[in-house]
């Protein structure tokens, strides 16, 4: 679990926290729900693990040319096709399946960790 922090990782992290703080400004004093951004780029979900709470929103944005999906492993939930440059969202529920893949490119996998 020791992961080298790359320069790129730090930059992405900084961008992500900037996005979160602007988000919390626009949503005034409501701290929930939080939106978690997952970028789909070069046939990967980034980050491949998102840590969320029930009621939060996960938004997948496709930066690839090819269309993708985020589909629960046993097809419990599914964003449907996310075309190039498009985003789809899903609301985190307590009983949702937490492992997902791209139905078009099954080697692409992601995990949702729900904090209790």
Partner 1 sequence: MKKTISVIAISAALCAFQASAQDVADLNDLEMAHVAYTADNIDIRYAHMALALSSNPEIHAFANTMISDHTAVNEAALGLLDKLGATAQDNFFSQALNDGAEQVINNFSNLRGVEFDIAYAANELAYHQTVNDLVEHTMIPNIDNDEVRALFQQGLEIFKIHEGHAEMMVKELTE
C-alpha 93/C-alpha 51 separation (Å) is 13
Q: Which of 22, 43, 80, 91 touches partner 1 (CB under 8 A)?
A: 43
Map residue 115 onto helix, strand or coil: strand
Return the H-helix or E-strand segment holding 109: strand 109-115
What phi and psi values does residue 23 have, to the nearest 5 degrees?
-65, -45
User: Which lies closer to partner 1 via its Cβ, residue 34 or residue 105?
Assistant: 105
- Applying CB under 8 A, the span of 9-17, 22-30, 31-39, 61-69 interacting with partner 1 comes to 61-69
Q: Does 54 bind partner 1 (CB under 8 A)?
A: no
User: Which lies closer to partner 1 via its Cβ, residue 14 or residue 83?
Assistant: 83
């Amino acid at each position: 679990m020791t992961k080298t922090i790359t320069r790129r990782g730090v930059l992405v992290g900084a961008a992500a926290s900037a996005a979160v703080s602007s988000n919390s400004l626009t949503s005034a004093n409501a701290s929930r729900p939080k939106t978690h951004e997952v970028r789909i780029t070069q046939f990967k979900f980034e980050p491949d693990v998102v840590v969320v709470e029930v009621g939060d929103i996960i938004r997948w944005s496709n930066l690839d040319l090819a269309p993708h999906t985020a589909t629960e492993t046993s097809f419990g939930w599914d964003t449907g096709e996310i075309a190039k440059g498009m985003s789809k969202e899903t609301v985190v529920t307590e009983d949702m399946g937490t492992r997902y893949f791209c139905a078009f490119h099954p080697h692409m996998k992601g995990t949702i960790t729900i904090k209790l």
